[in-house]
Structure 1
Amino acid sequence: MPSYIVTCKDDATPEQIAAAKQHAKDQGGTIGHEYDLIKGFQVTFPEGSVQALASHEHVKDVEADQEVRIQ
């Protein structure tokens, strides 16, 4: 299953972040890593299911989780 990094809005409260995570679970996602430095988390979703999460009221951005390299 594809993996995504979900960033919540800057002013999201811990309760709102929890609501976004629950929404991801309700849509068939599995929460992986939870980040401390940013208001966000990693989630895996079945193909084509991430659009519902991207429109959640407390979600700022959803992007594909991918390897980053410094050259």
Structure 2
Amino acid sequence: MTDTKGRGDETDEEELQDTKKNNLVKHLICCHTPEDVEPAIKFAQEQGGKYPKRRPIITGFTIKFPKDNVSTLADSKHISSAEVDGVVSIQ
């Protein structure tokens, strides 16, 4: 099983420092099925992602990538969508 320590919103000091130092941005990754989550996490980590955290409310996870990193997450058959995680507003 892929290391997804810190499930939920817990963020430790090491992660915070690394996020600031390396200009990491959180991405929300949605998978086709619950069985796709583990292979998708592995694929995202192979693409340079760090600190994966499963999200029980969706079939997916969040993971951080360098801000300037252009990822090929859409190339994975396990991933249905990937976007920068952030506040959504209407108007």
| Structure-2-length-normalised TM-score | 0.62
Determine the C-alpha separation between the residues in 1 that align with 2:34 and 2:51.
Answer: 18
Q: Return the letter of the residue paired with 1:8.
A: C
| Consecutive aligned runs of 4 or more in structure 1 exceeding 6 Å deviation | none
Change in 2 beyond 3 A, CA 1:36/1:45: same
Structure 1 residues without counterparts, runs of 5 or longer: none
Pairs within 5 Å for 1:1-71:
1-9=24-32, 12-14=33-35, 16-46=36-66, 47-50=68-71, 52-68=72-88
Change in 2 beyond 3 A, CA 1:59/1:18: same
Contact residue 27 and residue 49 of structure 1 kept, 8 A: no
Secondary structure of 2:48's aligned partner: coil
RMSD of equivalent CA atoms = 1.9
The one-character-per-residue Cα deviations of 1:26-48 (angstroms, maximum 9, x if unpaired) are 11101343111211101111222
Change in 2 beyond 3 A, CA 1:33/1:70: farther
| Structure-1-length-normalised TM-score | 0.77
Larger radius of gyration: 2
Over the matched positions of the two proteins, sequence identity in percent amounts to 28
- State the 1:13 CA deviation: 3.9
